[in-house]
Amino acid sequence: MPNRSRTIVVAGAGIGGLTAALALAEAGFRVVVLDQAERLEQTGAGLQLSPNAARILLALRLRERLEPTIVAPTARKFCGCRSVNRPSAAMAPPIG
Ligand SMILES: Cc1cc2nc3c(=O)[nH]c(=O)nc-3n(C[C@H](O)[C@H](O)[C@H](O)COP(=O)(O)OP(=O)(O)OC[C@H]3O[C@@H](n4cnc5c(N)ncnc54)[C@H](O)[C@@H]3O)c2cc1C
């Protein structure tokens, strides 16, 4: 049985650290998140999360917070460098 009276320090406030911190808080732990950066800023165009990662965020009850900013793909295409202009149906399986 874990001792939930202890404080857990998570180093790093990226998606990994924040998700771990939320999961630990959900489990009843007191969590402190520390980051070496003076300011947290957006890097890149956004985070592309796999379905299993997205399911974890939904399980942490973040659906409402995320919905205004998410973009869900409707299809995916796999193209080789020679087939980029003629992808076959087999290479564009439906999502879901
Ligand atoms: C320039 C760039 C563009 C990107 N663009 C995209 C994109 O468009 N789409 C996409 O899906 N992914 C993109 N990525 C990748 C994506 O950012 C990472 O896969 C994802 O953010 C990793 O999350 P993370 O929580 O593991 O690490 P990070 O987001 O890197 O978080 C780690 C955090 O830990 C902190 N830290 C590190 N060491 C310490 C320490 N000793 N003490 C305290 N804090 C510490 C760091 O300051 C940082 O805030 C990009 C990455 C970069 C660098």
Asked whether 45 lines ligand 1 (CB < 6 A), one says yes
* Per-residue confidence band for 72, with pLDDT thresholds at 50, 70 and 90: confident
List the domain boundaries for the chain: 7-91
Q: Taking the model in full, what pTM does it have?
A: 0.83
Q: What is the pLDDT of residue 80?
A: 77
CA nearest ligand 1 atom 37, residue: 12
> How many other C-beta atoms lie within 10 A of the C-beta of residue 57?
18
Average pLDDT of every residue of the chain: 85
Q: What is the mean pLDDT of residues 51-75?
A: 91
Share of the chain above pLDDT 70, in %: 82
Asked whether 93 lines ligand 1 (CB < 6 A), one says no
Task: Report d(CA 59, CA 26) in Å as an integer.
Answer: 10
Q: Does residue 84 carry a pLDDT above 90?
A: no
* Per-residue confidence band for 77, with pLDDT thresholds at 50, 70 and 90: confident
Cβ pair 2, 24 in contact under 8 A = no
